[in-house]
Structure 1
Amino acid sequence: MPPNIIIPGLIAEHTSENVSVQVLAKRAANITPNSFQTNTVIAACVMFLAILIAWNLPILRDAISGLKLLTVGIHELCHLVVGLLCGGQVVSICIDPNDGGATHVMGLMRTTPRVPRNPYAMPTFAQTFWSPSAIATLASGYIGSSVIGFLFIFCGFDIVASKAAALVIHFALLVPILRADHWIAYASIIGCEAILIGLWFGDHGNAIRFYVLFVGVMNLFYVVWDYVDERLFDKRNTSDCAQFSELLGWPTSSWFMFWFVYDSLVFASAIFAGICVFRRTDDQMYQEASRFLPTR
C-alpha cells in the first residue's frame, strides 16, 4: 500500500483501541475504591468467615445445603468435563452437601508403571501410575470453582452485573433438585430461591449483589470447606487435597496451603478487576439498575 493513502476506518479503529487502552490504564493507575466498593470488599471478607462457620455448624449446615449442593455440583462438573475431554470414562458422580462430592473417571492413569527417580523410594500405586490427564482432571475442580467464584465476586461490584449473575444462579439452583434426596435439601433450595427473588424488589436490586458475592466466595474458596470438612467430620468423600497427596506425594496440609494461596490470589484479582472496571458513582449505578429488569 502506498504510504500516502490513508484509510479512515483503520485510523478510527486504531484510535478507539488506543482510547480503550488509555482508559483501562488510567483506571488501573487509580485503584482507590470508593465507598460503594469499599463496602463490597468488606462484605466479601466477612462472608468468608460467615461461610466457614455456617458450613460446619450443624443447623446452619442444613440451612445453606441448597447453596452447598450448587457449589459442590459446579466443582464436580468441572472434574467431569475435563475428564471427558482427556479421554476418560465417567463411572459415577456423587454430589452431597455434607459428604462432599466425588467424580470417578476411568482411563486416565498410565498403563505402564513410572520409573521412580530415586531407586530407594517406595512410591505408592497411584504415584507410580499417575498421568498428566489424571492431574489435569483433578486440578480442574479447584480451578473451575475459582473461575466461577472470580466471575461472581467481580459481578458483585456492580448492581446490573449482579442482576445478570443472579439470573444464572436462579436457573443453576434448579439443577441440584435432581440430586437432592432429603426434604431439608429441597426446603433449603426453595428458601434460597425465595430469598433471591425477594432481593429483586427494593432499592433497585442493590441487595442482590451481596447474594452474588456470597455465592462467589463460597465457590472460590471451596478448597477451605473441602479440607475442613475432611478434618472435622471425616466425610466419606475425601478432599482433592488428599487426592493430590496420594498421586504426587506431599502432605495433604501442604496441598491445602498451595490451593489456598492460589485462591487468595484469585480473590485479590477479582477485587482489583471489580474496582478498575466498575468506576461509577452510586447515582450512576442506581440509574443503570433502574433500567435493567426494573422491579418498581
Structure 2
Amino acid sequence: MAPSVLVNSGNILPGPHLHHLSRRELSVNHTQAITLGIIAVYVVVIALLWNLPYVRWVLWPFKMLVIAFHEFSHAITSVLTGGRISSITLDPHEGGVTHMRGGKQAFTLPAGYLGSSLIGALLTFCGFNIVASKIASFVLAACFLLTLWWARRDWWTIGTVLAAVGVLVAGWFIEHGEGLRFVVLFIGVMSSLYSVWDICDDLILRKVNSSDASVFAKRYGGSSQCWGVIWSLISLCFMVCGILAGLAAFKQSFEQMEKDSKGFIPTKI
C-alpha cells in the first residue's frame, strides 16, 4: 500500500496522518495545562507578595537567590569581557552590588536583568519535568549556599536561606519529586519576571535613579525608563521561550513523570 504522501511538481505534501501528527505535537495535554495554570497563579501571587507590606517577607530567601542570579550575571559577563570582580554584596533591603574593574559596560549593565531572566527561563523549562527539576535542584542548592557567602550575614538571612534549601530537599520526598517540580517552577517564574517587577519598582513607582538602566542611559543615551521597558520585554520573551520549550520537550503525564523519576535517585514519603 502506498504511503500517504503526495508528490506535486517536486514538492512533498504531507498526507492526512502527518497533519494529525503535527496537530498532536503542538497541542497541550492535561498535565501541561495544569502546569501552565500554576505558572499563571505564581505570576499573580508573586506580584502581590512583591509589593504587600509585611507579607512580602515570605519571598525573602527566594528574592535573595534571584538577586544573586542578577549579580552573578553581572560578574560572569564582566569576566567574559575582560573585567575583574572586586566584590559582590547581596542585601534584599538595598539590592545587590557587584564591584567590577574593566569589562564592557555595554554588556555588563544589562546582563544582570537579562541573565537572571535567562536563568529563570531555564528553571521554568525544567519545571515541566520531575527529573529535570531534580537536576536543577542541585544547582539551586549550590546557588543558595553561595548566596550566604556574599549576603549580609545575620541570623534572619542565614535561617531563611537554609529554610529555602530545606524546601528544596522536602520537595524530593513528595510523590517522587512532584513537589520539587513546583518549587523549581516557582523560582523560575520569579527569576524570569524579576526584571519586570524590579524595573517597575525602581523606575516607575519609586523613581530610583541609581539603577542599571539609569547608568546605561547616561553612558549610551536614551532614558532609563526606555531601557527598562526594553529589558523587561526581552525578559518576557525569555520566559515565553522557556515555557514553549517545556511544552515541546516534556509531554509526559503525571504518572509517566513519576515512573521516570523512580529511576533517578528515587525518593518518596
Task: Tell me what 2:91 maps to.
Answer: 96
Shift in Å, 1:289: 1.4
Task: Tell me what 2:155 maps to.
Answer: 183
2: CA distance, partners of 1:185 / 1:136: 31
Which residue of 260, 269, 274 corresponds with 2:232? 260
Shift in Å, 1:258: 0.9
1:294 aligns with 2:266: yes
Note if contact 1:152-1:213 (Cα within 8 Å) is conserved in structure 2: yes
Shift in Å, 1:195: 1.8
Structure 1 letter corresponding to 2:96: G
Q: Structure 1 residues 200 and 245 mapped into 2: Cα distance closer, same or farther (>3 Å)? A: same
Task: Tell me what 1:48 maps to.
Answer: 43
Structure whose CA Rg is larger: 1
2: CA distance, partners of 1:269 / 1:27: 19
2: CA distance, partners of 1:41 / 1:139: 28
The RMSD of aligned alpha carbons is 2.3
- The unaligned stretches of length 5 or more in structure 2 are 1-20
The worse-fitting range, judged by mean Cα deviation, of 53-62 and 263-272 is 53-62
Note if contact 1:244-1:252 (Cα within 8 Å) is conserved in structure 2: yes
Q: Structure 1 residues 93 and 282 mapped into 2: Cα distance closer, same or farther (>3 Å)? A: closer
Structure 2 letter corresponding to 1:273: A
Q: Structure 1 residues 226 and 28 mapped into 2: Cα distance closer, same or farther (>3 Å)? A: farther
Which residue of 207, 218, 223 corresponds with 2:190? 218
1:67 aligns with 2:38: no
Task: Tell me what 1:149 maps to.
Answer: 120
1:272 aligns with 2:267: no
Shift in Å, 1:214: 1.0
How is 1:171-210 mapped onto 2 (pairs within 5 angstroms)?
A: 171-178=142-149, 179-210=151-182
- The unaligned stretches of length 5 or more in structure 1 are 1-25, 109-132
2: CA distance, partners of 1:186 / 1:279: 38
Structure 1 letter corresponding to 2:59: I
- Percent of counterpart pairs with the same letter? 35
Shift in Å, 1:27: 6.6
Structure 1 letter corresponding to 2:211: S
Task: Tell me what 2:25 maps to.
Answer: 30
Per-residue deviation, residues 129-167 of structure 1 (Å, max 9, x unmatched): xxxx21111122222212211110001111111111112
Per-residue deviation, residues 74-127 of structure 1 (Å, max 9, x unmatched): 11111112212222343443221121122232335xxxxxxxxxxxxxxxxxxx
1: CA distance, partners of 2:176 / 2:255: 12
1:169 aligns with 2:164: no
Structure 2 letter corresponding to 1:62: W
May I ask how many residue pairs the two structures share in their alignment?
247
Shift in Å, 1:234: 6.6
Note if contact 2:196-2:235 (Cα within 8 Å) is conserved in structure 1: no
